[in-house]
């Protein structure tokens, strides 16, 4: 959940890739008079990077997304056996963080989260916590939920970037906002399913040269694929959205018994 650019530089449009100017196009229409539909989905994130010393690093992980009017819930999907592995080596990951390619939620840890857990200082793991973004009449809020500790931490706007949230409701709700598709060129050939279409853009920024591609679904009002590939083949990032069965219980309505804390409680 690190490196905010990967999710929020155009909502995974290639991480470090900068959107260059492209012909303005009409944004895809939303169904039902402009209101985007509810959405339950699994997001598969895949990235590859080749370092200057020739080492190839890959990252693959999944997230669950639940989207309703005024709410977006994103939580990491752990692999089977992850809880046992975490219990047996809760701090083994600390030495690996610098070596791995960061996942998509960005920002530095709060000071408390970087502290040595063995020193007795409890911390909140924003990287693995679920993120709940709300929009109440234009007022944006974000909170992080640790199900294992049954704790909810509200984050003030001044600290959004620190925890990996860019403050954009459209980025959270649509992943790739329809307005950003106007800056990409629609391909003449439709996508693989009715109501889908590929959008593409060549990026020529000095530090990011390559291609952004988005497979947009008009019905879902969300991208089915968002990918970036560098011109030299040394970096690639891909997000694949797969619709999932509708949630029987909305996760943010299951938090009544959770302890609620402020972000400041975890700062040194």
Q: How does pLDDT run across 106-148, given as a tens digit for each residue? A: 433 333 333 343 343 457 888 889 999 999 999 999 999 999 9
Q: What is the DSSP letter of 78?
A: P
192 DSSP assignment: S
pLDDT in tens, 203-253: 887 777 999 999 999 999 999 999 999 999 999 999 999 999 999 999 999
- What percent of the chain has pLDDT above 70? 71
pLDDT attached to residue 10: 39
Instruction: Give dist(CA 27, CA 218) in Å, integer.
Output: 10
Give the number of other CB atoms < 10 A from CB of residue 201. Answer: 24
Residue with the bigger pLDDT between 30 and 255: it is 255
**pLDDT computed for residue 1 by the predictor:** 40
Model-level pTM greater than 0.85?
no
d(CA 173, CA 249): 19
3-state helix, strand, coil in the chain (%, to 5): 20, 35, 45
- Hey, which residues does 242 pair with through a beta bridge? 42
- At residue 124, the pLDDT reads 82
Position 268 pLDDT exceeds 80: no
| Phi-psi label, residue 29: left if phi above 0, alpha if psi -120 to 50, beta otherwise | beta
pLDDT, one tens digit per residue, over 167-196 is: 999 999 999 999 999 889 988 878 999 999
pLDDT of residue 92: 42
């Amino acid at each position: 959940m690190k490196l905010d650019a990967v999710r929020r530089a155009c909502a995974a449009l290639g991480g470090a890739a900068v959107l260059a100017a492209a012909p303005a196009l009409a944004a895809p229409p939303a169904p039902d008079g402009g209101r985007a539909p509810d959405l339950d989905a699994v997001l598969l994130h895949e990235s590859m990077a080749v370092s200057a010393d020739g080492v190839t690093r890959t990252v693959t992980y999944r997230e669950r997304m639940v989207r309703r009017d005024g709410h977006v819930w994103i939580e990491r999907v752990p692999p089977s056996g992850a809880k046992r592995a975490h219990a047996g080596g809760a701090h083994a990951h600390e030495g690996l963080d610098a070596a791995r390619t960061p996942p998509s939620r960005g920002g530095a840890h709060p000071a408390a989260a970087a502290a040595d857990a063995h020193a007795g200082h409890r911390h909140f793991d924003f990287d693995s916590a679920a993120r709940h973004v709300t929009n109440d009449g234009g007022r944006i809020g974000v909170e992080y939920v640790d199900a294992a500790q049954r704790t909810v931490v509200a984050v003030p706007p001044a600290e959004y970037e620190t925890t990996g949230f860019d403050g954009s409701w459209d980025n959270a709700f649509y992943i790739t906002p329809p307005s950003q598709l106007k800056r990409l060129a629609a391909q003449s050939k439709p996508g693989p399913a009715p109501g889908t279409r590929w959008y593409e853009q060549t990026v020529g920024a000095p530090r990011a040269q390559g291609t952004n591609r988005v497979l947009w679904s008009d019905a879902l009002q969300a991208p089915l694929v968002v990918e970036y590939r560098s011109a030299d083949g040394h970096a690639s990032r891909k997000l694949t959205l797969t619709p999932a069965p509708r949630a029987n219980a909305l996760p943010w309505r299951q938090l009544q018994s959770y302890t609620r804390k402020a972000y400041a409680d975890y700062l040194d």
